[in-house]
């Protein structure tokens, strides 16, 4: 999968080089490139934003600069993700869908967002455009949201995770499912004993206990 991220803070995306994502890039499974939006700025002050038509607080990012940044990246294989708290809420099923595509372009908005004609322009030209939010709270910009989405999406791509069996039964795989609690050595830690059933070797009983615990967790936490 090819991933492009456009931002005025390229340094914010440095963690993409670490850990599993860094390894997947070395192996050629992922090709991630971060682009500095400000390099497309036109005026002497390298402005990327201006005041909103109609008035109001905050600044809006300029459409021409976004067009200059996105045009060379977009093609028929591309899905453009515009990050905004007003977008559709990201979840595991959206991550699974995006993990199947060949090219993702992330547009990280700052300030009050990007001039809406950027979305309109790429939609009108028959590109696949998605406005996405990672949850119901407001961040300073889309950079952290891009990191969250890229991590959730790419770990579903074959070869990115060390152990693909980790994907088989995890939280959110099925709507509303939360994973059962896990334990490791030692069997007793401080005054706490690992549940007896997990030491029993009885796989049927273990499966039943884990299903009960998962249901209980979902009830308590959601």
Rank residues 137 and 168 by Cβ distance to ligand 6GU and give the closer one. 137
With binding defined as CB under 6 A, does residue 85 bind ligand 6GU? Answer: yes
With binding defined as CB under 6 A, does residue 154 bind ligand 6GU? Answer: no
Q: How long a stretch of residues is the chain?
A: 222
Rank residues 88 and 97 by Cβ distance to ligand 6GU and give the closer one. 88
Q: Is residue 138 left, alpha or beta, with left meaning phi > 0 and alpha meaning psi from -120 to 50?
A: beta
For residue 195, count other CB atoms closer than 10 A to its CB: 13
Cis bond upstream, residue 186 (ω within 30):
yes
Rank residues 148 and 214 by Cβ distance to ligand 6GU and give the closer one. 148
What is the Cα–Cα distance from 80 to 129, expressed in whole angstroms?
5
**Minimum distance from residue 154 beta carbon to ligand 6GU (Å):** 17
Q: Report how far apart, in Å, the C-alpha atoms of 217 and of each of 180, 185, 210 are.
A: 7, 22, 10
Rank residues 41 and 81 by Cβ distance to ligand 6GU and give the closer one. 81
Point out which span in 10-18, 60-68, 128-136, 171-179 binds ligand 6GU (CB under 6 A): 128-136
Rank residues 24 and 105 by Cβ distance to ligand 6GU and give the closer one. 105
List % helix, strand, coil for the chain (3-state, nearest 5): 35, 20, 40
Q: Cα-atom radius of gyration of the chain, to the nearest Å?
A: 22
User: 82, 116 in Cβ contact below 8 A?
Assistant: no
With binding defined as CB under 6 A, does residue 81 bind ligand 6GU? Answer: no
Rank residues 139 and 194 by Cβ distance to ligand 6GU and give the closer one. 139
With binding defined as CB under 6 A, does residue 94 bind ligand 6GU? Answer: no
With binding defined as CB under 6 A, does residue 53 bind ligand 6GU? Answer: no
Q: Which of 134, 152, 153, 160 binds ligand 6GU (CB under 6 A)?
A: 134
Alpha helix stretches (DSSP H) within 54-116: 63-70, 92-98
Q: Which of 18, 137, 163, 191 binds ligand 6GU (CB under 6 A)?
A: 137
User: What is the binding site for ligand 6GU (CB under 6 A)?
Assistant: 83-85, 133-135, 137-139, 141-142, 145
């Amino acid at each position: 999968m090819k991933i492009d991220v456009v931002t005025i803070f390229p340094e914010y995306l440095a963690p993409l080089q670490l850990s599993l994502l860094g390894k997947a890039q070395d192996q050629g499974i992922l090709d991630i490139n971060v682009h500095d939006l400000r390099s497309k700025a036109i005026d002497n002050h390298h402005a990327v934003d201006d005041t909103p038509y109609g008035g109001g607080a905050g600044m809006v990012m300029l459409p021409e600069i976004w067009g200059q940044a996105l045009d060379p990246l977009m093609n028929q294989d591309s899905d453009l993700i515009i990050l905004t708290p007003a977008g559709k809420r990201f979840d595991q099923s959206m991550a699974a869908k995006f993990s199947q595509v060949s090219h993702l372009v992330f547009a990280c908005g700052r300030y009050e967002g990007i001039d809406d004609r950027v979305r309109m322009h790429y939609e009108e030209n028959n590109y696949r455009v998605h406005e996405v939010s990672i949850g119901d709270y407001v961040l300073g910009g889309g950079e952290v949201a891009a990191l969250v989405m890229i991590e959730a999406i790419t770990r579903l791509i074959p070869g990115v995770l060390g152990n693909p069996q980790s994907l088989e039964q995890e939280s959110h795989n099925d709507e509303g499912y939360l994973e059962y609690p896990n334990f490791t050595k030692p069997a007793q830690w401080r005054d706490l004993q690992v549940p007896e059933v997990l030491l029993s070797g009885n796989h049927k009983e273990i499966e039943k206990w884990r299903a009960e615990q998962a249901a209980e967790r979902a009830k308590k936490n959601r």
